[in-house]
Amino acid sequence: MVGSSSVGAVVPSVKSEQIMVSGGSDTRANIEGGGDGAPPPSGQAAQSQMEVLVMPKVEEGVETDVIEMDKDFLCPICMQIIKDAFLTSCGHSFCYMCIVTHLENKSDCPCCGHFLTTSHLHPNFLLNKLLTKTSARQIAKTSTPFEQLRRALQQGCEVSVKELDSLLSMLAEKKRKMEQEEAETNLQIMHDFLQCLRKQKLEELNGVQTDLRYIKEDITAVERQRIELYRARERYMSWMGSGSLQNRRADAKALANSQIHQKKDACSGSDSLHSTQSGVSVARKRRIHAQFNELQECYLQRRRNQDSKVHKQDDRDMTALSREGYSAGLEDFQSVLSSFTRYSRLRVIAELRHGDLFHSANIVSSIEFDRDDEFFGTAGVSRRIKVFEFSSVVNESADVQCPVVEMSTRSKLSCLSWNKYTKNHLASSDYEGIVTVWDVNTRQSVMEYEEHEKRAWSVDFSKIEPSMLVSGSDDCKVKIWCTKQEASVLNIDMKANICSVKYNPGCSYHVAVGSADHNIHYYDLRNISQPIHIFSGHRKAVSYVKFVSNHELASASTDSTLRLWDVKENIPLRAFRGHTNEKNFVGLSVNSEYLACGSETNDVFAYQKAISKPAALHRFGTDSEEGEDDPGSYFISAVCWKSDSPTMLTANSQGTIKVLVLAA
């Protein structure tokens, strides 16, 4: 019966076995020598009873994990494994120090409450022996063979000299093998590392050599073009002079000397055509060095992209390309470099006050040029649309500036959009969610659309289909309208507030939507069930979206960044940082080369689209002579480029409008 019940490592099997032997007393009572209210068994009885409980486990090799963790081995006072077990007259065992400390304060058993003094305590030798064996068995089970061997030798295990020699020889051989294996492993790891490093460096070297080849080819092409320009200038000057043979020979000699100096100067980077560099040239070179790393990446990226395209062409095209002596990638970068270094600041050429002198709500929310850049309209929280003639604003004094057209609205205005075909049609969106199409000539509304349930932030006319316009609102809806009907044509229900909408200038059914979910949703209106692509990267709400070209989209966000995206390849191109924008609509405008935006520091920033840092900026001044207003509370609220010119319109939260132009 004992043998059959001792199979396994679970406590219940031990307890059931004990019940069969002792007739019903609990496990704690038997281990400690007695139960509650019963005298503890005498030495021999306790010994035989404990052997019944424990020996089958030793004989059968049963695990002792559960026994070790059994609460019966824990002192009821300190809840640790019992040390120096002492037995009370009521049959409970405790650590000697624990029970003595307890009895100094109380005279009862901590378990059953029976009267107890130190005279009722007796050593529990059997339990101490059991705990010692259990601990030793547990250590033996968890220790490594080496620890077991070391412990056996330390405990005086008798071993002959021959056995020791054999053991030492075995250990020496084991050590030699382990050292050899470790050395081989270390060498293999080192070899693999060096191979990977060599491969990586060879790839880098190949890349550097390829880049150097590009640079060498382009230096040759640029030198060739410089020589051609120099020859053309010399020919012109020669024929404009006396034309004598002697002068022509002198010119030819000067040309030859110049070409020699050119080749020498090409290595040092000096300008061989001018002995002294002009101030403009020095300033442009300074701008190059200030942004050298970004310009370098821009050049290499364009050169590599062009090279990959050339490899796809046939041999005939490649021969023609090499015969011409230049690459499209170099031409592309030259335009970027020229554009970036041409300007370094924004200069004010005109200024006017849009706001009323005694009206505090002067924020200009939107400022837009018409189809021909002849007029521009402004709108904001003043509930009025004002149209100005651009030429008179630039040419006349600011004191006499008046709008040529002014229209009042019922609500604050958020956005304007001129019709790209009908010059006198202007669309607006307001804080009541109303989208209105105005006839500027008659100063009357042509259409009013009132389907939005909350404020409408953005409206835009299609450039391809001028009768179509799109709007976005805080009601999380994008609506497509047609000026030929009163109800909306399409309705896109999104899950976030809409901050900006924009038609692709090259397609009448592609629309970009900037929303508060930090993303730009790009839709094909022929299938609005899901967007073509969702551009992710901004960390906060997308406040503006504008198309730089048919395949390039710019976006602004309150995470203080602008981003450029390729809507054809659905990839991010660049992120622009430098301005501050965390909560307000600060404006965004683009042309073919530059992006412009405002800042909550009352500055206007201009970025060259290939360079992520600002190319120029202008700080608005404040009109608070008495210093009552905090200048830091003002911010740029709207910007607009004049087509592809370096001129832009800017407005701030004071209602001040400035005409700025990029300057060297």
pLDDT at residue 16 is higher than 90? no
* Average pLDDT across the chain, whole number: 81
Query: Residue 442: what residue type?
Result: T
Q: How far apart are CA 24 and CA 17, in angstroms?
A: 10
Q: Name residue, tokens 């044509």.
A: 489
pLDDT for position 286 = 86
Residues 6+ positions from 463 with CB-CB distance below 8 Å: 420, 503, 505, 506
DSSP state for residue 39 in the 8-state scheme: P
pLDDT for position 355 = 55
pLDDT at residue 210 is higher than 70? yes
Among the listed residues 647, 640, 644, 641, the one whose alpha carbon sits nearest the alpha carbon of residue 661: 647
Among the listed residues 607, 555, 554, 562, the one whose alpha carbon sits nearest the alpha carbon of residue 580: 562
Among the listed residues 89, 65, 213, 49, the one whose alpha carbon sits nearest the alpha carbon of residue 141: 65
The CA-based diameter of the chain, rounded to the nearest angstrom, is: 142
pLDDT for position 57 = 41
Residue pair 378/354 in contact by the 8 Å Cβ criterion: yes
Q: Which one is predicted more confidently, 539 or 245?
A: 539
pLDDT, mean of residues 229-234? 85
**pLDDT tens, 39-51?**
444 444 333 333 3
Residues 6+ positions from 256 with CB-CB distance below 8 Å: none
Residues 6+ positions from 551 with CB-CB distance below 8 Å: 566, 567, 568, 569
Confidence of residue 56 (pLDDT cuts 50, 70, 90): very low
Among the listed residues 228, 246, 248, the one whose alpha carbon sits nearest the alpha carbon of residue 238: 248
Q: What is the DSSP string of 258-297?
A: HHHHHHHHHHHT--TT-SS--HHHHHHHHHHHHTHHHHHH
pLDDT at residue 319 is higher than 90? no
pLDDT for position 525 = 95
pLDDT for position 72 = 72
Q: Which one is predicted more confidently, 539 or 287?
A: 539
**pLDDT tens, 447-469?**
999 999 999 999 999 999 999 99
pLDDT for position 11 = 32
pLDDT at residue 347 is higher than 70? yes
Kindly state the tokens that stand for 249: 């020979």
**pLDDT tens, 589-613?**
999 999 999 999 999 999 999 999 9
Q: How far apart are CA 238 and CA 236, in angstroms?
A: 5
pLDDT at residue 316 is higher than 50? no
Q: Which one is predicted more confidently, 277 or 113?
A: 113
pLDDT for position 248 = 53
Q: What is the dihedral of CA 103, 104, 105, 111, to 10 degrees?
A: -10
pLDDT for position 383 = 92
pLDDT for position 97 = 92
Residue pair 389/374 in contact by the 8 Å Cβ criterion: yes
pLDDT, mean of residues 517-530? 95
Q: How far apart are CA 624 and CA 125, in angstroms?
A: 95
Look at 335-344, 402-411, 448-457 and tell me which has the smallest mean pLDDT. 335-344
Q: How far apart are CA 257 and CA 265, in angstroms?
A: 12
pLDDT for position 657 = 92
Query: Residue 59: what residue type?
Result: E
Query: Residue 133: what residue type?
Result: K
pLDDT at residue 246 is higher than 80? no
Query: Residue 278: what residue type?
Result: S
pLDDT at residue 233 is higher than 70? yes
